[in-house]
Amino acid sequence: MVEPGTLSMAPTASGTPAFPNEGLRDAYQLMALARAMDERCLMLQRQGRIGFYAPLMGQEAAQVGASRALAPGDWVFPAYRELAVALARGVSLKAIFDQLLGNADDVIKGRQMPNHFGFRDVNFVVASSPIGTQITQAVGAAMAAQRRKDPIVTIAFFGDGATSSNDFHAGLNFAGVFQCPSIFFCQNNQWAISMPRKRQTHSATLAEKAAAYGIPGVLVDGNDIHAVYGAVREARARAVAGGGPTMIEAEVYRFGPHSTSDDPKRYRTDEELSAAKERDPIGRLKGELIAAGQWNEEADRTLWEEVRARVARTFEASEKARPLDPRSVFDDVFADLTPRLAEERAEYDARVREGVLKP
């Protein structure tokens, strides 16, 4: 048990639970699927078939490890890079592609840029673009669960850049004061667009910031699925038992660009990237599985062929979905259409009737 305000630099060594052996192969397959998604989507964006994409490559172990430590009733407050968390929660690949395309099957009805997922059926709260805003919201949901005595946690996912945001400070401060069941899961991928981690804060680690709020801060190797799983599992157990919140910093590296609109060559070196890729969480888990006799190269080749084919196939299915109903642009502003919105929609309808616009 980590005492409030202390910083544990090596939680796996202190005996936190390891990732369950029987789930490791499944976790590896999920990580491969996420990586195949990234590769495909970066290409699709270049081909102009999706408008934008924010890859997570390099963060697969952190996302899958954290997700597998949660219960179905827990609430996830993601940022926009949490594709593997959504997949781990059981969201279908088709639903992901529908969102990337903004078609008629997209559950958020084409309202947001790609990667801003929201899936109520798996308690995956819809993401937004402003940085850190989900942190205070996750705290509020945890305070609500605390009041209802529901044995769940809320977990906010965010990056190193978000630790400079107002809501990071406000959220951790509230969580400390109210001792609510929250986990703050920071994926420190070393770069906030072009700003390196060292220039985001003068603190030696991000995890140590938790100490100022009187809550435990834990630093883990985000490429080690066991370390991530163990830290989240322990934080979850403590939170559900009434022991309050925890902040976890998972050290990872963003292999890809911030998004398809970004060129990381402007601000970081190939050498740095190559060095980081030697710690690729996928290669690491593959090696572990092979060493444990649970996996082999042939199974691996088959897996990658399968996930790539599945990704390609599912994208084609999503591409065939109907386009959105243009009139839906006026829906969901409020529960009911206000007179003003009804008037604006009628104006739109009139243009369609006059043949100015295609329906």
Partner 1 sequence: MTELNLVQAINRTLRDAMRQDPNVLLLGEDIGVNGGVFRATEGLFKEFGADRVIDTPLSETGIIGAAIGMALYGLKPVAEIQFLDFIYPAFDQIVSELAKFRYRSGGQYPAHVVIRSPYGGGIKGGLYHSQSTEAYFCHTAGIKVVVPSTPADARGLLLSAIDDEDPVLFLEPKRIYRSLTGEVPDGAERVPFGRARIVREGSDVSLFAYGAMVPQATDAAETLARDGVSAEVVDLRTLVPLDEAAVVASVEKTGRAVIVHEAARFCGFGAELAALLAEKALYSLKAPVVRVTGFDTPFPYALENVYLPNADRIARAARNAVRAS
Residues 131-190 that bind partner 1 (CB under 8 A): 133, 135-145, 147-148, 154, 166-167, 169-171, 173-174, 177-178
Catalytic residue among 68, 81, 236, 254: 254
Q: Which is nearer to partner 1, 4 or 118 (CB)?
A: 118
Q: Which is nearer to partner 1, 40 or 89 (CB)?
A: 89
Pairing of strands 75-77, 182-188: unpaired
58 contacts 52 by C-beta, under 8 angstroms: no
Q: Measured between alpha carbons, how far is 267 from 191 in angstroms, rounded to an integer? A: 10
Min dist CB 116 to partner 1, Å, is: 7
**At a CB cut-off of 8 Å and minimum separation 6, what does 216 contact?**
2, 3, 4, 5, 6, 8, 210, 235, 238, 246, 247
Q: Which is nearer to partner 1, 82 or 251 (CB)?
A: 82
Q: Is 224 in the site for partner 1 (CB under 8 A)?
A: no
Residue 338 backbone dihedrals phi, psi, to 5 degrees: -75, 160
Pairing of strands 191-192, 195-196: antiparallel
Residues 273-332 that bind partner 1 (CB under 8 A): 331-332
Residues 202, 340, 354, 356: which binds partner 1 (CB under 8 A)? 340
Residues 15, 48, 72, 339: which binds partner 1 (CB under 8 A)? 339
Q: Measured between alpha carbons, how far is 31 from 334 in angstroms, rounded to an integer? A: 38
SS3 content of the chain, % helix, strand, coil (to 5): 50, 10, 40
Q: Which residue has the tokens 């899958």?
A: 64
Residue 251 backbone dihedrals phi, psi, to 5 degrees: -80, 115
Q: Which is nearer to partner 1, 8 or 318 (CB)?
A: 318
Strand, helix or coil at 214?
Answer: coil
Q: Measured between alpha carbons, how far is 154 from 290 in angstroms, rounded to an integer? A: 34
Min dist CB 8 to partner 1, Å, is: 26
Q: Measured between alpha carbons, how far is 61 from 16 in angstroms, rounded to an integer? A: 17
Q: Measured between alpha carbons, how far is 168 from 101 in angstroms, rounded to an integer? A: 31
Residues 1, 13, 291, 335: which binds partner 1 (CB under 8 A)? 335
The count of residues interacting with partner 1 (CB under 8 A) is 48
Q: Which is nearer to partner 1, 60 or 106 (CB)?
A: 106
293 contacts 35 by C-beta, under 8 angstroms: no
Q: Measured between alpha carbons, how far is 285 from 229 in angstroms, rounded to an integer? A: 13
Q: Which is nearer to partner 1, 65 or 161 (CB)?
A: 161
> Residue 310, CB half-sphere, CA atoms under 13 Å: how many?
18
Q: Which is nearer to partner 1, 112 or 190 (CB)?
A: 112
Min dist CB 184 to partner 1, Å, is: 13
Q: Measured between alpha carbons, how far is 126 from 130 in angstroms, rounded to an integer? A: 12
Pairing of strands 191-192, 7-8: unpaired
Min dist CB 64 to partner 1, Å, is: 24
Known catalytic membership, residue 258: yes
Catalytic residue among 46, 49, 267, 313: 267
Min dist CB 215 to partner 1, Å, is: 14
Min dist CB 167 to partner 1, Å, is: 6
Q: Measured between alpha carbons, how far is 222 from 66 in angstroms, rounded to an integer? A: 10
Min dist CB 182 to partner 1, Å, is: 9
Residues 64-123 that bind partner 1 (CB under 8 A): 75, 77, 106-109, 111-112, 116, 118-120
**Contact set with partner 1 (CB under 8 A):** 75, 77, 106-109, 111-112, 116, 118-120, 125-126, 128, 130, 133, 135-145, 147-148, 154, 166-167, 169-171, 173-174, 177-178, 331-335, 338-340
Catalytic residue positions, numbered: 254, 258, 267
